[in-house]
Amino acid sequence: MLQDKDTTGSLSGGWTEPRATAVLVLQDGTVLEGFGVGAEGEATGEVCFNTAMTGYEEILTDPSYAGQIITFTFPHIGNVGTNEEDIESVNAASSSGVRGVVLSASITEPSNWRASRDLDAWLKARGVVGLSGIDTRALTALIRDKGMPNAVIAHNPEGRFDIEALKAKAAALPSMDGLDLVPLVTSAQRFDWDETTWTRGEGYGHREGAPKHHVVAIDYGVKRNILRLLARAGCKVTVVPATASAEDVLALKPDGVFLSNGPGDPAATGEYAVPVIRKVLEEKIPTFGICLGHQMLSLAVGAKTKKMHQGHHGANHPVKDKTTGKVEITSMNHGFAVDPETLPENAMETHVSLFDGSNCGIALTDRPAFSVQYHPEASPGPQDSHYLFDRFVQMMDSKKAGLSR
């Protein structure tokens, strides 16, 4: 601020710059200074950007973001606060998968009737280190040019940082390639799920009382709304850890198997997940995968995955369903993609991104199994992609009627 004049009429001071209380140090040594929000301390991760204008609480509790620092391109994050209903991790009390958050504008007081806590206090409670006050457009442009960098985010209210040590730590961080992050977010034990989707006047309190099918969901980091939509579709859902064996899954006598979303390098998770999925496919059990589950299904039939330059993170991604010709506006969160050139003959490409042509879905021609790269349980369309849950149910109907492949 500008200082007052002293008694002689001269300035007693001048412009004083506010001290930076947080820094983001990239692996190439770039240092971005800002103002700390959320938890104090340091966190490390891969920096990505998300283009969504709404749903920041859902994004910050999505287990698929484990090991990452999210930069929001929309400048005003936090203006509707947080609440207890929009958390996407199954264990609402657990720490977020996301390591840190980078914002443009400062967090304001919330203005929404559903808000129970402001975003800053919520970040503190969940141990998420944050930074505001930087040009997130410039950081996004850097990621688009150079790819998603590793970084250290640090918050110290006194503004004291050992920058050289932070640079060394950022430079030494391992690449996301080869990292299996699913153990950080998967369930520790089996449990049942019967909560359905939100309804006016009831919230999420409704329970599915007369399920038609039994679905076993393999949890690589599953989001709550996926389970809600499966329940709403008339399914009894049993969630099992990512490390469940094929014998564990088959012993539950499922009508269908669901492969969930999750974080990290799919090839690393596939070391133990792929053999299980292959046995499920051998039994010709209807199978549906989302995000990492899509990549797991693809790996199980012999395809390959590859690291993306900047990934897909946002709620405005157009995807074409090649089986119908329709275009869906989808929510995405992935840094790896299935290489369509490696798909075997029995895997038909069903969906494709209209941003970059990357693969967004497959269906097997000799097994009742399909998957998509995006998140149909999210609602940017708002319900463009909910038909996929109906498709899964129809597949189970056909299997029971003896009509499936």
Residue 185 pLDDT greater than 70, yes or no? yes
Asked if residue 1 belongs to a domain, the reply is no
In this structure, the answer to whether residues 165 and 201 fall within a common structural domain is: no
For residue 250, the surrounding DSSP H or E stretch is helix 246-251
Instruction: Report yes or no: 39 and 16 within 8 Å, Cβ to Cβ.
Output: no
Residue 1 pLDDT greater than 60, yes or no? no
pLDDT above 70 covers a percentage of the chain that reads 95
Asked if residue 302 belongs to a domain, the reply is yes
Asked if residue 16 belongs to a domain, the reply is no
The reply, when asked if residue 333 is annotated as ligand binding, is yes
Stretch 333-351: mean pLDDT, rounded?
98
Stretch 330-352: mean pLDDT, rounded?
98
Closest alpha carbon to 86 in 60, 66, 58: 58
- Taking residue 13's Cβ as centre, other Cβ atoms within 10 Å add up to 11
CB-neighbour burial class of residue 205 (10 A; exposed 0-12, middle 13-18, buried 19+): exposed
In this structure, the answer to whether residues 27 and 108 fall within a common structural domain is: yes
Domain that holds residue 147: 22-172
Query: Tokens at residue 62, please?
Result: 């999505």
Model pLDDT, residue 93: 64
User: Of the residues 141, 172, 203, which one is the last residue of a structural domain?
Assistant: 172
Asked if residue 7 belongs to a domain, the reply is no
Stretch 254-267: mean pLDDT, rounded?
98
Residue 6 pLDDT greater than 70, yes or no? no
Q: Tens of pLDDT along 310-327?
A: 999 999 999 999 999 999
The reply, when asked if residue 68 is annotated as ligand binding, is no
In this structure, the answer to whether residues 109 and 187 fall within a common structural domain is: no
Residue 85 pLDDT greater than 70, yes or no? yes
Q: What is the DSSP letter of 54?
A: S
Q: Tens of pLDDT along 161-174?
A: 999 999 999 999 99
Residue 206 pLDDT greater than 50, yes or no? yes
Asked if residue 283 belongs to a domain, the reply is yes
Helix axes 224-232, 387-400, angle to 10 degrees: 50
Q: How many CA atoms lie within 13 A of 270 on its CB side?
A: 21
Residues 95, 380: Cα–Cα separation, whole Å: 26
Model pLDDT, residue 404: 59
Asked if residue 10 belongs to a domain, the reply is no
Establish whether the linkage from the previous residue to 382 is cis, with ω within 30° of 0.
Answer: yes
Which residues on adjacent β-strands are paired with residue 41? 155
Residue 7 pLDDT greater than 70, yes or no? no
Query: Tokens at residue 58, please?
Result: 């859902």
- How confident is the prediction for the chain on average, in pLDDT? 93
Residue 4 pLDDT greater than 50, yes or no? no
User: Of the residues 127, 142, 172, which one is the last residue of a structural domain?
Assistant: 172
Model pLDDT, residue 357: 97
In this structure, the answer to whether residues 382 and 308 fall within a common structural domain is: yes
Entry pTM = 0.94
Which residues on adjacent β-strands are paired with residue 349? 362
Residue 9 pLDDT greater than 70, yes or no? no
Model pLDDT, residue 203: 75
CATH number at residue 395: 3.40.50.880
Asked if residue 5 belongs to a domain, the reply is no
Q: Tens of pLDDT along 109-164?
A: 999 999 999 999 999 999 999 999 999 999 999 999 999 999 999 999 999 999 99
The reply, when asked if residue 295 is annotated as ligand binding, is yes
By DSSP bridging, strand 347-353 and strand 305-321 are antiparallel
Model pLDDT, residue 228: 94
Whole-angstrom CA distances from 192 to 29, 231, 233, 282, 400 are: 47, 11, 15, 25, 22
Instruction: Report yes or no: 334 and 312 within 8 Å, Cβ to Cβ.
Output: yes
Model pLDDT, residue 13: 60
The reply, when asked if residue 64 is annotated as ligand binding, is yes
The reply, when asked if residue 27 is annotated as ligand binding, is no
Model pLDDT, residue 2: 34
Model pLDDT, residue 405: 59
Asked if residue 399 belongs to a domain, the reply is yes
Closest alpha carbon to 213 in 191, 230, 195, 190: 230
- Chain-centroid distance of CA 273 in Å reads 19
Residue 5 pLDDT greater than 70, yes or no? no
In this structure, the answer to whether residues 215 and 66 fall within a common structural domain is: no
The reply, when asked if residue 335 is annotated as ligand binding, is yes
* Number of domains making up the chain: 2
| Residues labelled as active-site residues | 291, 375, 377
Closest alpha carbon to 33 in 121, 161, 143, 123: 161
